[in-house]
Structure 1
Amino acid sequence: MPHSAQNTALTPAQEAERYLENARQILSEKAGKKDGLYKDIKYVKMASGTAYSAALLILDEYLRQREGIHFTKPKSIEDYMIRLTKHDKKLLRILANVYDDLHLAGYYHGTRSVDTIQNGMSRVRQMLTYI
């Protein structure tokens, strides 16, 4: 079965899991790791963006469940944070860490720190429990 046909049947949680698995695979197969640092920043950025996208998929589903027919897709990280303030402050704190670790440090700045990226990915897995 083609990948696109298969993806239509996935739940938001399954799709987020797929993104996380893709990110893990990019890191393990292409980024290279030595002494707690990744060797190839290009692949760290790619994996970080993919894992961060999983977080946004999770948040969209979480907000859709909470807001029902009033749900509209947030347009910025600030919008996500404001809306989470109304629903779950623990999830808001997790998002703040994911944003810092994966979006800013990993994707935007291209950190080489294995710990930073792994912490971010671990927090995205935590977010999965919310949907």
Structure 2
Amino acid sequence: MTPVQEAKRYIDNAKEILRDKARKEEGYYQDAKYVKLAGHAAYTGILVALDGLLGKKGKGRKDVDWYKQNLAKLDKRMLNSFVSAYDILHLSMAYDGIPDAEVAQTGLKRAESIIDWVEQRTVTA
């Protein structure tokens, strides 16, 4: 399985968690536990895709700043999309469990656009 295929699997899992377990009512998810799991899954999908494109870091663990620095060298617009996805998926959803379904959908759209961007770059490489 390629990194992009794996990343898409993470996004599918996040959507499934929200759809089947988070219980959406009137535009808000009722179970923060599943919002957190979905946010983490979607953000991890982004990182899996980016890892396939950007490769390995020299020493230590990768962190959000490492991804930002490397994306800034490649595409400023995608850097902005990544920062937005990080704020929504990792901070708002995975940590805070924000229940707003529109926010979650925006985060998932950002994740999909980043993964599609990686896929286009790896196809042409």
Q: TM-score, normalised by structure 1?
A: 0.84
Please state whether the residue corresponding to 1:121 is helix, strand or coil. Answer: helix
Please state whether the residue corresponding to 2:99 is helix, strand or coil. Answer: coil
Larger Rg belongs to: 1
Aligned to 1:51: 42
Unpaired segments ≥5 residues, structure 1: 1-9, 65-70
Aligned to 2:78: 91
Which residue of 46, 57, 65 corresponds with 1:72?
57
Relative CO higher for 1 or 2, CA cutoff 8 Å, sep ≥ 6?
Answer: 2
Please state whether the residue corresponding to 2:21 is helix, strand or coil. Answer: helix
The farther-off stretch of 73-82 and 119-128 is: 73-82
Q: TM-score, normalised by structure 2?
A: 0.88
- Percent of aligned pairs sharing the same letter: 39
Q: In the aligned structure 2, how far is the partner of 1:128 from the partner of 1:86?
A: 17
Query: Is the aligned partner of 1:22 residue 2:13?
Result: yes
Aligned to 2:113: 126
Which residue of 24, 28, 34 corresponds with 1:37?
28
Q: Please provide the CA RMSD for this pair.
A: 1.3
Unpaired segments ≥5 residues, structure 2: 120-125
Residue type of the alignment partner of 1:90? R
Aligned to 2:52: 61
